[in-house]
Amino acid sequence: MSKILKKWVGAEELAKSAVLNVATPWYDLNTGERMGCAQWRPAVMKETGGDFLLMKHEDVHRMVYRLAVDAGAQVDFGVTVESVTAGNPQPQVRLSSGEVLKADLIIGADGPRSKIRRYVHKKEDDALPSGFTIFGTTIPATEMMKDPELAKLVQANEWPIFMGTNRSLCAHPVRAKAEFAVQMYWPDEDAGTPKDATESWYDIVPTSSVRFDNLGDNVQRMMKLTPYLYRTRWMTRATEIDEWTDESGRIVLMGEAAHPWFPGGTYGPAMALEDAVVFGTLFQHLSSWEQVPVFLNAYREIRFDRTTAVNDMDVSNAAFVRLPPGPEKDARNADIRLARDEWDDGSLKEQFEGLANLFCYEAEDAAQEWWVTWGRYGQAARDSVQFGYHTLATNVRA
């Protein structure tokens, strides 16, 4: 995502709110022990063409919003979609106000609980609880700076990860170190999660409602600096979402509407922006309506395996830092303690190899490669057929 945003807004604009991550230290969640650290070395990151930036979602939203408005997009706030009607050539959306909007294409980019997906798949969402709840909060840096130990966390350009049994906590500075973001994975039964809880980020609970007394001293002191937590639930889908376009070919899913991510996952927002880049790059080549279904199929073809693989890796990485007691956890801890600030040993090496493949991907290149390999030749063939029909028609009339 850093590569995409740097191209869209420039490195200088990114630097106003982003924090460059240079290392990932690992801590024991219960004891506070610093077990090891892996460096994100500049030479390694240079090979990927991007940077590991730590940002607040809200700041990314504002950037993308400004870009859209500057490009001529009209954004209406406070409106609710009541229904969607498929149509070719024009599908339509009915709003709660009674207004009906018609379009050439409807892009459903409305998140994991997508309304638009229901109209594409013609069925209700089959989300089921995964067993985990995610808490999130941000702490003012001014408060953390009053504590010498916590001040070290907020001053460092690092992404610390605290590993526990069936739970984990990760944190990092955001907004040019003006705030410190914290995110925790907790079992549902210890999080006080209601049975009907969903993937909403609007469920606010007091910090005092969650037990932290059995955790490391640094985590306990951190949690005392924030009065509330945002709580959401990690849901999984029983059925794979493998179709991203409806039968009419005029309604298409993008981002988490197409591939729901687990809340707080590291790469979900990046995958959404990559979707947009691939989609936009393909449609830059649009010259006739006949290409629309071809481009929609190409968009899904290019993105499906990529998002599936990255999601699997993201889920695996999250599980890696909350392993239950056993040989796998012992091996992980041993690797981390022996690591020489590098990702070159045992299970760490396997994690890094996956990350290298992830970071080196270029969404625009993937779309252009499809166009050069398949798209332009398919278009040339269609043009040739059309030319032949026109010639035949002329001869018949003559």
pLDDT at 354: 64
Least-confidence region, from 87-91, 272-276, 317-321, 380-384: 380-384
Count of all residues that appear for the chain in the document: 398
Least-confidence region, from 128-142, 236-250, 381-395: 381-395
pLDDT at 388: 40
Q: Does pLDDT of 349 surpass 80?
A: no
Q: 6: which 2 tokens?
A: 């740097």
pLDDT tens readout for residues 225-268 = 999 999 999 999 988 899 999 999 999 999 999 999 989 899 99
**32 exposed, middle or buried (CB, 10 Å; 0-12, 13-18, 19+)?**
middle
Q: Does pLDDT of 153 surpass 70?
A: yes
pLDDT band per the 50, 70, 90 thresholds, residue 383: low
DSSP string, 276-333: HHHHHHHHTT--STTHHHHHHHHHHHHHHHHHHHHHHHHHHHHHHTSPPSSHHHHHHH
Going through 215-322 in order, the beta strands assigned E by DSSP cover 228-237, 251-253
Distance CA(185)–CA(263), nearest Å, equals: 10
Least-confidence region, from 219-223, 253-257, 312-316, 342-346: 342-346
Task: Please give the mean pLDDT across all residues of the chain.
Answer: 89
In terms of DSSP bridges, do strands 100-102 and 179-187 run parallel, antiparallel, or are they unpaired? unpaired
What lies within 8 Å, CB to CB, of 42 at 6+ separation is: none
* Pairs from 64-67 (Cβ < 8 Å, separation ≥ 24): 64/273, 67/8, 67/9
Distance CA(97)–CA(81), nearest Å, equals: 9
Q: Are 300 and 332 in contact (CB under 8 A)?
A: no
Q: Does pLDDT of 393 surpass 70?
A: no
In terms of DSSP bridges, do strands 161-163 and 23-28 run parallel, antiparallel, or are they unpaired? parallel
More confident residue, 347 or 29: 29
pLDDT at 343: 54
pLDDT at 347: 54
More confident residue, 25 or 343: 25
pLDDT at 386: 46
pLDDT at 396: 29
**Considering the chain, what percentage of its residues have pLDDT values greater than 70?**
90
pLDDT tens readout for residues 159-180 = 999 999 999 999 999 999 999 9
pLDDT band per the 50, 70, 90 thresholds, residue 16: very high
Which SS3 state, helix, strand or coil, does residue 44 take?
helix
pLDDT tens readout for residues 23-62 = 999 999 999 999 999 888 887 788 888 899 999 999 999 9
If residue 220 lies in a helix (H) or strand (E), which one and from where to where? helix 217-223
Q: Does pLDDT of 98 surpass 60?
A: yes
Give the pTM.
Answer: 0.90
pLDDT band per the 50, 70, 90 thresholds, residue 221: very high
- In this prediction, residues 300-323 reach a mean pLDDT of 94
pLDDT band per the 50, 70, 90 thresholds, residue 348: low
pLDDT at 200: 84
Q: Within 13 Å, how many C-alpha atoms sit on residue 211's CB side?
A: 10
Helices (H) and strands (E) in the chain, counts: 15, 15
pLDDT at 352: 63
Distance CA(381)–CA(384), nearest Å, equals: 5
pLDDT tens readout for residues 184-209 = 999 999 999 999 888 888 899 999 99
- In this prediction, residues 332-356 reach a mean pLDDT of 68
pLDDT band per the 50, 70, 90 thresholds, residue 390: very low
What's the first-to-final CA gap in the chain, in angstroms?
Answer: 59
Within a 10 A sphere around the Cβ of 30, how many other Cβ atoms? 15
